[in-house]
Chains A and B, each alone.
Chain A
Amino acid sequence: MQKAMHCTPVILRFASVGQADNPMVSAVVRYIGSMHESQCNATRSGNTHATCAQRCYHPPANFICIQTMAGREATLSEKSATTPDYQALYDTAPVAYFSVSPGGYIQMLNQYASELLGYERDALIGMSPLILYADTPSGREKAKAVLANAQSGTSVEKEELRMRRSDGTLLWVQLTVRPVKDEAGRIQRFQSIVTDITERKNAREKLRAAQSALEERVESRTAELRRVNEELRSEVAERRAIQEQQQRQLAAMDAAMAGMSIHEPDGTFRYANQAHATIYGYDAPDELIGRSWRILYEESEQAYIENAVFPVLEQGNKWSGELTGLRRDGSTFPAYLTLTPLDDGGLTCICEDITDRKEREQRLELYTRRLEVLRDIDQAILQAQSQEEIAQAAMERLQHLIPCSRSSVILINTEANEATVLARHSTAATELDSGTTYPLSDLHFSGEQLQEGAHLIEDIRTATQTPLIERLQHEGIRSFMTLPMQIDATVLGTVNLGAESPRCFTEQEQRIAKEVTDQLTIALRQAQLLDQVQQQTERLEQRVEERTKELESFTYSVSHDLRTPLRAVDGFSRMLLDAHSDQLDEEGQRLLGIVVESAQRMGQLIDDLLALSRLGSREMRAGSIDMEALVDDVISELKRAHPNRDIVFERAPLPDTCGDRSMVRQALTNLLSNAVKFTRGEAPARIHITHDPDAADPTYVVEDNGAGFDMNYADKLFGVFQRLHDEGSFEGTGVGLAIVERVVHRHGGRVWATGHVGKGATFSFSLPTETKLAT
C-alpha cells in the first residue's frame, strides 16, 4: 500500500518547456504519500513515447509523469472558463464535484471533494481520477469502465464504487458522471458527482449480514428440528422392531425344546419357558417364576454352582457344563446348562435333559471298549502258539470288560473222565492253577447241565456245596459264572468267572462273557484241529519217508541183484549155444534161444524200470531250454540210429521253455523214438514237431503218420507196462510213455495223445515257463 502510494506521482508545478522541435518538460513531482519532491525532465517524442530525464524513483512513474503533463497542458488551458460565483456554491456543496476533461483528467474539484479524499485541491488538478479509486474490481476497474462509458457520450448514474483516501482508508461512493457537450455535440468535459455512501453502505451491509445470520439461524434450527424429528421417528421404529423381535423370541423360547429361563440378580426366575418347567418336573412356568433356582438342585449341587459356576459368570463369561438336576418329585437327572450373565446382574439359562445322550454315550463307550477288547483277544489268539496261550490271552483281556477277581478255562476230557485247567487269571492265590487236573465229578455242573448254556451262581453261599464250590468259597469267591465252550453237542470245556461279591455280573456282562467264550471256543477248536492236522501231517511225512527209504533200498537191490542172475542165464546159455550146440538138436537150440532172448528182454525191462524209478527221486535242475536245438539234436541222433529208414522230420519254429534239460531230452527222445518205431510201415515216414500257439504254456506237438492207436484205450497209453500193440508187431517194454508222463508232470505240465488205428498219432505236452516245477 505504502509503495503503491509512493509510486503514484503528483505534479506540483512545471519548471520549463523545451524548444519546439524537441519539446522538453520539466516538472516538480511529488509522490503520493511522500513529502519528497523531485524535478523530472522529460522529452516528448511523438504521442506515445517519453523518457524520464532524471531522479525518477520508479520507471512507471515516468510514463505517468508524461501523461500527467499532457493532461496538465489541457487543464491549464481550460482553467479560465470557471466563474467565481459558482465557485462558492460549488465548494460548499456537501457533495463532491469533479470536472474531468474529455481526455480523462481532473480539471476542477470542490472543497468537499478535497476534504472527502484528503488531498489538496491542487494536487489533484490534472490527475486522472482513476488514481482516487481503490485497486479493486469495484474500485479502479469499475471507474475505468465508467470513464470509458462517459467518454462514449452517455451518462452514468449512481454507480457505487470504492474510493481510497489519501490516508489509505477506503470509502464507498455513489458516482454519477454526465458528459457536458457543446452545441456541436462534442464533449466539453465530464461532470462527476461523488456522494459518500460509506455509512449507508455499511448500514446496509450490516443489515444484510444480520438478515443472513438470522436466516442461517432459522435454517440451522429447522435442520436441527428435522434431525431430532428423524431421530425420534427411527427410535420409535427401532423400539417397535425390538419389541416385535422380543415377542417373537419369547414365542420361540416358549416353544423351544430346550429349557430357557431368565433370572433376576437375586437368582429368582423372571422368565421360564414351558420346556424348562417340564424338564425339572413342573407343570407350568408360573410355578417357577419368582422362586429361586435353588429348588432345582440338591444342596451339594447348589454349593458346586455357587463355588465353581457363579465366579465364572461374575467375570462376565458364559458357562456351559453338566449339572445334576433335581425334579419336583425328588428324582435327579443329568442336565446340560449354558448360563450367560446379563448386564443387570441377572442371567439367562438354557438347559437340556441329557439322560438319553448320557446313556447313549455310555453304551457307545462300553460297546467301543468291548470291540477293542474283543479285537485285542482276536489279535492275541492269532499270535498265540498253543491252546494254553490262546486261553491265557483271552482270560487276561476279559478282565478289562468284566470285573472279576478270577477267571479260568477248563478243558473237559470225557474219555479220560477228567478236567484240566488250561489257563487261569486271578488276582488272588488259588490252588486251581494252570495244568491242574481233577475228576469230572468235581465240576459243579454236569455235562448235561453245561449243554443247556451258561450257569450263574449269584451267591456261592446259597449254592449246592460241591468240592469245587467249597474250594472257591475258601478262596473268597462269592458269585460265580460258568459258560460252556460248546460246538454242536460237544462241550470242549468251560470258561469260569468268579467275583468276590454276590450278584456281581450284569446281564450285559453275561452277554459279553458269552461272546468271548464263543470266540475262545472257536479259537481253541481251531487250535485243536490244527494240532491234529499237524500230528497227522507229521505221521504222514514219517510214513512217506519210511516208504521212500524202502523204495530206494528196493530199487538199489533191483539194480544190483536182479541183473546178476540174468547175466548168468544169458552168459551160460550163450556158452551152451557156442560151445555145445552140436549136442543140441534144432528144437533144443530154438528153446535155448528163447531163454537168451527172454533174459535180454528182462534186462531191458529192469533198466527201463530203474530209469522210471530214478526219475521220481532225482533232483530237478531247472534252467531255460532251447527247444528247437534240443529237438534237432534228438532228431539227428535218431537218424543216425536208423540209417536205413526213410523218415521225413519236420520241425517247425518252437518256443523256448524252462525245466530240467536232461529229463526233457529223455521225454523227447522217448516220444520221437515211439514215432519212429510206429511209422516202421510207412515210406516215407512223416514226423512233425510243432507247437500250439494258442496254449497258455508252451505246448509241443509230435505228430506221425504211423500205426496210430484206438482212442478207447487212450487212458492206458501212459501206464507202466501198458502196451497197445503186440510184441510181435512193435517191440517195447511199455515204460517209455510212462517216463514221458512222469517228466512232464514233474515240470507241472500236461501230456495227452490223440490218434486212430492206421492213421497216425499225435502226442502233445506242455512245459510251463513259470517255476511251478513239482519237487
Chain B
Amino acid sequence: MSRSILLVEDQPYDAELTLRALRGLGLDEQVHHLRDGAEALHYLFEEEHPPSTMPPKLILLDLKLPRVSGLELLAALKEDERTQCIPVIALTSSQEQQDVHRCYDLGVNSYVVKPVDFAEFTETVQQIGRYWTTMNQTVC
C-alpha cells in the first residue's frame, strides 16, 4: 500500500515524536520517512513511485536538512507541474521571519513551528494530519 504522507526530517527524535503524534490518529502507517531533500527528490521523481501515478497526499517538511535543504526541495516541488499540487507543510523549529517569508514565497501551503512542549507538539501535528489528510482533499 502506498504511503500517502511524506515526512522529510533529518532528526530521528523529531521524526519519532511526529510519528507518535500521528499514531494517535491512526495515520502513522501511511507515513514514509525520508531523511533529507535529496532522498525526497529521488523518491518523488526517480523511484518506482512516480508522482503522476501515485502522488502523496501530504508532505511534512523540515527546513534544515543535510544535502538538499527543505527550501530547495520546496522550490523543486512547486516548480514541477507533477508535484506542485501536493500540499506541503513546513514543520520546523525556526521562527525566523526570513524562513517564513521564503517558504510562502515558494508556495508552501502552511508554515508550522514545532513547539518544544510535547503536548503542544502532539496537538499541532495531529491537527495538521487531520486537516490535510481527511478534511482537505482538493488542493489545487
Contacts and interface: CB of A to CB of B under 8 A. Distances in A.
A614 B97 contact: yes
B13 A571 contact: yes
A556 B94 contact: yes
B80 interface: no
Interface string A557-596: 0011101111110111111000000000000000000000
Query: How large, as a class, is the contact surface on chain B?
Result: 20 to 34
A600 interface: yes
Interface in B87-136: 92-97, 114-119, 121
Query: How large, as a class, is the contact surface on chain A?
Result: 20 to 34
A559 B116 contact: no
Given A559-B96, A614-B97, A603 B13 contact: no
Contacts of B22: none
A607 interface: yes
Contact of A599 (B17, B20, B63, B116): B116
Name B's interface SS: loop
B4 to A, nearest CB: 24
Contact of A568 (B14, B94, B115): B14
B117 A560 contact: no
Contact of A567 (B14, B63, B95, B96): B14
A618 B96 CA distance: 11
A603 B116 contact: yes
Given A567-B121, A570-B118, A571-B118, A560 B64 contact: yes
A430 B114 CA distance: 77
B52 interface: no
A774 interface: no
B6 to A, nearest CB: 20
Contacts of B63: 560
A572 to B, nearest CB: 7
B94 A567 contact: no
B13 A568 contact: yes
Contacts of A568: 11, 13-14, 17
Contacts of B114: 563, 567
Contacts of A529: none
A564 B95 contact: no
A152 to B, nearest CB: 154
Contacts of B11: 564, 568
B116 A610 contact: no
Contact of B93 (A559, A574, A575, A600): A559
Given A566-B116, A599-B116, A607 B95 contact: yes
A231 B11 CA distance: 141
B74 to A, nearest CB: 16
A484 to B, nearest CB: 58
Contacts of B64: 560-561
Interface in A410-434: none
Interface string B18-32: 001000000000000
A555 B97 CA distance: 12
A561 B116 CA distance: 12
A560 B116 contact: no
A615 to B, nearest CB: 12
Contacts of B93: 559-561, 563-564, 567
Interface in B14-66: 14, 17, 20, 63-64
Contact of A574 (B94, B95, B115, B119): B119
Interface in A298-331: none
Contacts of B20: 575
B7 to A, nearest CB: 15
A312 to B, nearest CB: 94
Contacts of B13: 564-565, 567-568, 571-572
A565 B114 CA distance: 12
A561 B11 CA distance: 10
Contacts of B119: 574
Interface in A603-639: 603, 607, 610, 614, 618
B96 A574 contact: no
Contact of B118 (A560, A563, A574): A574
Nearest to B13: A568
B17, B95, B117, B118: which has the most chain A beta carbons within 10 Å?
B118
27 contacts: A556-B94, A556-B96, A559-B94, A559-B96, A561-B93, A563-B114, A563-B116, A565-B13, A567-B13, A567-B114, A567-B115, A567-B118, A567-B121, A568-B11, A568-B17, A570-B116, A570-B117, A570-B118, A571-B118, A574-B119, A575-B118, A599-B116, A600-B117, A602-B116, A603-B116, A610-B95, A614-B96
Interface of B: 11, 13-14, 17, 20, 63-64, 92-97, 114-119, 121
4 nearest A-B pairs in the assembled complex, by CB-CB distance? A603-B116, A568-B13, A571-B118, A574-B118
Given A568-B11, A610-B95, 8 more contacts: A556-B96, A560-B63, A560-B92, A563-B116, A567-B93, A570-B116, A573-B118, A599-B116
